[in-house]
Structure 1
Amino acid sequence: MPAFRDFNFKLLVIEKLMYEDRTLTPAFSINELLRARGIGDAQTYAFENDLAYTVLDESRAYFEALEISEELLATVDTLLVDGGHQVYYECSPVWDGEDELFDVSSLDDLDLLPNLRRISGAQDCGMGVPFTEEVLAARGIASD
Protein backbone atom coordinates (compact mmCIF):
# COMPACT_ATOMS: atom_id res chain seq x y z
CA MET A 1 0.00 0.00 0.00
CA PRO A 2 1.23 3.50 -0.76
CA ALA A 3 2.53 5.45 2.22
CA PHE A 4 1.76 9.13 2.74
CA ARG A 5 4.49 11.41 4.07
CA ASP A 6 2.27 14.37 5.04
CA PHE A 7 -0.57 13.49 7.43
CA ASN A 8 -2.55 16.61 6.50
CA PHE A 9 -2.29 15.87 2.78
CA LYS A 10 -3.57 12.37 3.51
CA LEU A 11 -6.53 13.93 5.29
CA LEU A 12 -7.44 15.87 2.12
CA VAL A 13 -7.43 12.61 0.19
CA ILE A 14 -9.48 10.86 2.89
CA GLU A 15 -12.01 13.70 2.79
CA LYS A 16 -12.43 13.17 -0.94
CA LEU A 17 -12.67 9.39 -0.84
CA MET A 18 -14.42 8.75 2.49
CA TYR A 19 -16.75 11.68 3.02
CA GLU A 20 -17.33 13.07 -0.49
CA ASP A 21 -17.15 10.09 -2.87
CA ARG A 22 -17.96 7.51 -0.16
CA THR A 23 -15.73 4.95 -1.83
CA LEU A 24 -13.39 4.52 1.15
CA THR A 25 -15.53 2.74 3.68
CA PRO A 26 -16.58 2.52 6.39
CA ALA A 27 -16.64 6.21 7.19
CA PHE A 28 -14.83 6.95 10.44
CA SER A 29 -16.84 8.65 13.19
CA ILE A 30 -15.07 9.86 16.31
CA ASN A 31 -18.43 10.17 18.07
CA GLU A 32 -19.25 6.51 17.37
CA LEU A 33 -15.81 5.38 18.51
CA LEU A 34 -16.01 7.32 21.78
CA ARG A 35 -19.60 6.24 22.49
CA ALA A 36 -18.57 2.61 21.99
CA ARG A 37 -15.98 3.18 24.72
CA GLY A 38 -18.61 4.74 26.98
CA ILE A 39 -17.04 8.18 26.79
CA GLY A 40 -19.82 10.30 25.28
CA ASP A 41 -19.64 12.87 22.52
CA ALA A 42 -16.38 14.06 21.02
CA GLN A 43 -16.79 17.77 21.66
CA THR A 44 -17.34 17.29 25.39
CA TYR A 45 -14.47 14.81 25.52
CA ALA A 46 -12.14 17.28 23.80
CA PHE A 47 -13.06 20.17 26.10
CA GLU A 48 -12.96 18.14 29.31
CA ASN A 49 -9.53 16.72 28.49
CA ASP A 50 -7.94 19.95 27.22
CA LEU A 51 -7.79 18.54 23.68
CA ALA A 52 -9.89 21.20 21.98
CA TYR A 53 -7.40 22.34 19.36
CA THR A 54 -5.41 19.21 18.76
CA VAL A 55 -5.88 16.06 16.71
CA LEU A 56 -7.32 13.43 19.05
CA ASP A 57 -5.01 10.44 19.50
CA GLU A 58 -7.82 8.07 18.55
CA SER A 59 -8.38 9.84 15.25
CA ARG A 60 -4.70 10.21 14.43
CA ALA A 61 -4.11 6.51 15.07
CA TYR A 62 -7.04 5.53 12.86
CA PHE A 63 -6.17 7.78 9.94
CA GLU A 64 -2.42 7.12 10.09
CA ALA A 65 -3.03 3.36 9.97
CA LEU A 66 -5.68 3.62 7.25
CA GLU A 67 -4.46 2.03 4.05
CA ILE A 68 -5.66 3.34 0.73
CA SER A 69 -5.13 1.18 -2.33
CA GLU A 70 -3.41 2.44 -5.46
CA GLU A 71 -6.62 1.72 -7.36
CA LEU A 72 -8.63 4.00 -5.08
CA LEU A 73 -5.96 6.71 -5.13
CA ALA A 74 -6.11 6.61 -8.93
CA THR A 75 -9.77 7.72 -8.77
CA VAL A 76 -8.84 11.06 -7.19
CA ASP A 77 -8.96 13.70 -9.90
CA THR A 78 -9.82 16.72 -7.74
CA LEU A 79 -9.11 17.88 -4.20
CA LEU A 80 -10.75 20.67 -2.26
CA VAL A 81 -8.75 22.55 0.36
CA ASP A 82 -11.30 23.86 2.85
CA GLY A 83 -11.34 24.33 6.61
CA GLY A 84 -14.83 22.88 6.90
CA HIS A 85 -14.03 19.30 5.93
CA GLN A 86 -15.73 16.46 7.80
CA VAL A 87 -12.38 14.74 8.29
CA TYR A 88 -11.19 17.74 10.32
CA TYR A 89 -14.19 17.40 12.63
CA GLU A 90 -13.42 13.72 13.05
CA CYS A 91 -9.85 14.64 14.04
CA SER A 92 -10.51 17.74 16.15
CA PRO A 93 -14.22 18.12 16.96
CA VAL A 94 -13.99 21.70 18.23
CA TRP A 95 -11.32 23.05 15.88
CA ASP A 96 -12.29 26.52 14.71
CA GLY A 97 -10.02 26.83 11.67
CA GLU A 98 -8.06 29.70 13.18
CA ASP A 99 -4.68 28.01 13.35
CA GLU A 100 -2.38 25.86 11.23
CA LEU A 101 -3.43 22.49 12.66
CA PHE A 102 -4.35 21.05 9.26
CA ASP A 103 -1.99 22.97 7.00
CA VAL A 104 -0.31 20.84 4.35
CA SER A 105 3.44 21.30 4.54
CA SER A 106 4.58 19.17 1.61
CA LEU A 107 3.38 18.19 -1.82
CA ASP A 108 5.52 15.04 -1.96
CA ASP A 109 2.36 12.95 -1.82
CA LEU A 110 1.13 14.28 -5.17
CA ASP A 111 3.00 11.33 -6.66
CA LEU A 112 0.39 9.04 -5.06
CA LEU A 113 -2.41 10.64 -7.09
CA PRO A 114 -1.61 9.95 -10.75
CA ASN A 115 -4.91 11.34 -12.06
CA LEU A 116 -5.16 14.49 -9.96
CA ARG A 117 -6.02 17.35 -12.29
CA ARG A 118 -7.40 20.13 -10.05
CA ILE A 119 -6.96 21.47 -6.53
CA SER A 120 -9.60 23.99 -5.52
CA GLY A 121 -9.57 26.43 -2.65
CA ALA A 122 -5.89 26.39 -1.79
CA GLN A 123 -5.41 30.11 -2.36
CA ASP A 124 -8.58 31.11 -0.51
CA CYS A 125 -8.30 29.32 2.79
CA GLY A 126 -4.84 30.16 4.05
CA MET A 127 -3.84 26.49 4.01
CA GLY A 128 -2.18 26.63 0.65
CA VAL A 129 1.40 27.62 1.39
CA PRO A 130 2.87 24.78 -0.68
CA PHE A 131 0.10 24.93 -3.28
CA THR A 132 1.83 27.40 -5.55
CA GLU A 133 0.41 27.67 -9.03
CA GLU A 134 3.83 27.09 -10.58
CA VAL A 135 4.43 23.81 -8.72
CA LEU A 136 0.98 22.49 -9.57
CA ALA A 137 1.09 23.63 -13.20
CA ALA A 138 4.42 21.82 -13.66
CA ARG A 139 2.56 18.63 -12.73
CA GLY A 140 -0.42 19.36 -14.98
CA ILE A 141 -2.66 20.26 -12.04
CA ALA A 142 -4.91 23.30 -12.27
CA SER A 143 -5.71 25.35 -9.19
CA ASP A 144 -8.42 27.82 -8.36
Structure 2
Amino acid sequence: MVALSGAHTIGRAQCKNFRTMLYSEENIDPALATSRKATCPQLTGSGDSNLAPLDDTTPDMFDNAYFVNLKLNKGLLHSDQVLYTLAGGATEDIIDGFASNQDAFNNAFAAAMVKMGNISPLIFPQGQVRRICSRAN
Protein backbone atom coordinates (compact mmCIF):
# COMPACT_ATOMS: atom_id res chain seq x y z
CA MET A 1 0.00 0.00 0.00
CA VAL A 2 2.87 2.38 0.70
CA ALA A 3 4.21 1.92 -2.83
CA LEU A 4 0.73 2.49 -4.30
CA SER A 5 0.35 5.70 -2.29
CA GLY A 6 3.29 6.94 -4.35
CA ALA A 7 0.81 7.49 -7.18
CA HIS A 8 0.19 10.77 -5.36
CA THR A 9 3.47 11.99 -6.80
CA ILE A 10 1.30 13.24 -9.68
CA GLY A 11 -2.14 14.78 -9.66
CA ARG A 12 -4.03 17.37 -7.71
CA ALA A 13 -6.51 17.51 -4.85
CA GLN A 14 -9.46 19.80 -4.27
CA CYS A 15 -9.35 22.19 -1.34
CA LYS A 16 -12.28 20.44 0.34
CA ASN A 17 -10.09 17.33 0.63
CA PHE A 18 -7.18 18.97 2.45
CA ARG A 19 -8.74 21.98 4.25
CA THR A 20 -8.87 20.19 7.61
CA MET A 21 -5.19 19.29 7.30
CA LEU A 22 -4.29 22.94 6.70
CA TYR A 23 -6.23 24.48 9.53
CA SER A 24 -6.33 21.91 12.32
CA GLU A 25 -3.23 19.74 12.20
CA GLU A 26 0.26 20.51 13.41
CA ASN A 27 2.21 17.95 11.39
CA ILE A 28 2.31 20.05 8.21
CA ASP A 29 5.21 22.16 7.03
CA PRO A 30 4.37 25.82 7.91
CA ALA A 31 5.51 27.16 4.52
CA LEU A 32 3.38 24.61 2.66
CA ALA A 33 0.39 25.42 4.86
CA THR A 34 0.78 29.16 4.24
CA SER A 35 1.07 28.63 0.50
CA ARG A 36 -2.00 26.39 0.34
CA LYS A 37 -4.10 28.66 2.58
CA ALA A 38 -3.77 31.37 -0.08
CA THR A 39 -6.03 29.35 -2.39
CA CYS A 40 -7.96 27.32 0.18
CA PRO A 41 -9.86 29.56 2.61
CA GLN A 42 -10.85 28.20 6.01
CA LEU A 43 -14.54 28.85 5.41
CA THR A 44 -16.20 25.62 4.26
CA GLY A 45 -17.76 26.01 0.84
CA SER A 46 -15.36 28.75 -0.17
CA GLY A 47 -12.88 27.57 -2.78
CA ASP A 48 -13.86 23.92 -2.35
CA SER A 49 -12.94 23.02 -5.92
CA ASN A 50 -9.63 24.94 -5.99
CA LEU A 51 -6.81 22.55 -6.85
CA ALA A 52 -3.35 22.07 -5.38
CA PRO A 53 -0.66 19.60 -6.43
CA LEU A 54 -0.31 16.50 -4.28
CA ASP A 55 3.46 16.73 -4.78
CA ASP A 56 4.52 20.35 -4.51
CA THR A 57 8.09 19.65 -5.62
CA THR A 58 7.59 17.92 -8.98
CA PRO A 59 3.80 17.88 -9.50
CA ASP A 60 3.83 16.56 -13.06
CA MET A 61 6.66 14.05 -12.79
CA PHE A 62 6.37 10.44 -11.61
CA ASP A 63 9.25 10.26 -9.15
CA ASN A 64 10.02 9.65 -5.48
CA ALA A 65 9.63 13.31 -4.40
CA TYR A 66 6.29 12.39 -2.79
CA PHE A 67 8.17 10.29 -0.23
CA VAL A 68 10.81 12.97 0.33
CA ASN A 69 7.95 15.41 0.96
CA LEU A 70 6.37 13.09 3.55
CA LYS A 71 9.65 13.09 5.49
CA LEU A 72 9.50 16.92 5.48
CA ASN A 73 5.84 17.07 6.64
CA LYS A 74 4.78 18.21 3.18
CA GLY A 75 2.11 15.62 2.53
CA LEU A 76 -0.98 17.51 1.40
CA LEU A 77 -3.54 14.87 2.38
CA HIS A 78 -3.90 13.64 5.95
CA SER A 79 -4.03 10.04 4.72
CA ASP A 80 -0.66 10.51 3.03
CA GLN A 81 1.16 12.29 5.85
CA VAL A 82 0.13 9.80 8.54
CA LEU A 83 1.94 7.08 6.63
CA TYR A 84 5.12 8.70 7.89
CA THR A 85 4.28 10.64 11.03
CA LEU A 86 1.69 8.57 12.89
CA ALA A 87 2.27 5.01 11.84
CA GLY A 88 4.46 4.21 14.84
CA GLY A 89 7.36 3.41 12.58
CA ALA A 90 5.51 0.64 10.73
CA THR A 91 5.99 2.31 7.33
CA GLU A 92 8.75 4.78 8.15
CA ASP A 93 11.57 2.53 6.91
CA ILE A 94 9.75 1.84 3.64
CA ILE A 95 9.19 5.56 3.05
CA ASP A 96 12.82 6.30 3.91
CA GLY A 97 13.89 3.67 1.38
CA PHE A 98 11.68 5.03 -1.39
CA ALA A 99 12.73 8.61 -0.61
CA SER A 100 16.38 7.72 -1.07
CA ASN A 101 16.06 5.26 -3.96
CA GLN A 102 13.99 6.08 -7.05
CA ASP A 103 14.51 2.61 -8.54
CA ALA A 104 13.29 0.89 -5.36
CA PHE A 105 10.08 2.92 -5.53
CA ASN A 106 9.60 2.31 -9.26
CA ASN A 107 10.08 -1.46 -8.85
CA ALA A 108 7.79 -1.70 -5.82
CA PHE A 109 5.12 0.42 -7.51
CA ALA A 110 5.20 -1.69 -10.67
CA ALA A 111 4.97 -4.93 -8.67
CA ALA A 112 2.06 -3.58 -6.61
CA MET A 113 0.19 -2.46 -9.74
CA VAL A 114 0.60 -5.92 -11.31
CA LYS A 115 -0.59 -7.56 -8.09
CA MET A 116 -3.58 -5.23 -7.86
CA GLY A 117 -4.38 -5.84 -11.52
CA ASN A 118 -4.61 -9.56 -10.83
CA ILE A 119 -7.31 -9.13 -8.18
CA SER A 120 -10.66 -10.37 -9.43
CA PRO A 121 -13.42 -7.90 -8.61
CA LEU A 122 -16.53 -9.05 -6.82
CA ILE A 123 -19.46 -8.87 -9.19
CA PHE A 124 -23.19 -9.19 -8.68
CA PRO A 125 -24.56 -10.51 -6.38
CA GLN A 126 -21.51 -10.46 -4.05
CA GLY A 127 -20.29 -7.03 -5.09
CA GLN A 128 -20.38 -4.39 -7.77
CA VAL A 129 -18.16 -2.39 -10.06
CA ARG A 130 -19.19 1.19 -9.41
CA ARG A 131 -20.07 3.42 -12.35
CA ILE A 132 -19.25 6.44 -10.17
CA CYS A 133 -16.55 5.68 -7.59
CA SER A 134 -18.00 7.87 -4.84
CA ARG A 135 -21.36 6.08 -4.63
CA ALA A 136 -22.96 2.69 -4.91
CA ASN A 137 -24.82 1.87 -8.14
Instruction: Give the TM-score of the pair, scaled to structure 1.
Output: 0.27
1 or 2, which has the higher helix percentage?
Answer: 2
| Structure ranking higher on relative contact order (CA contacts 8 Å, 6+ apart) | 1
Instruction: Give the TM-score of the pair, scaled to structure 2.
Output: 0.28
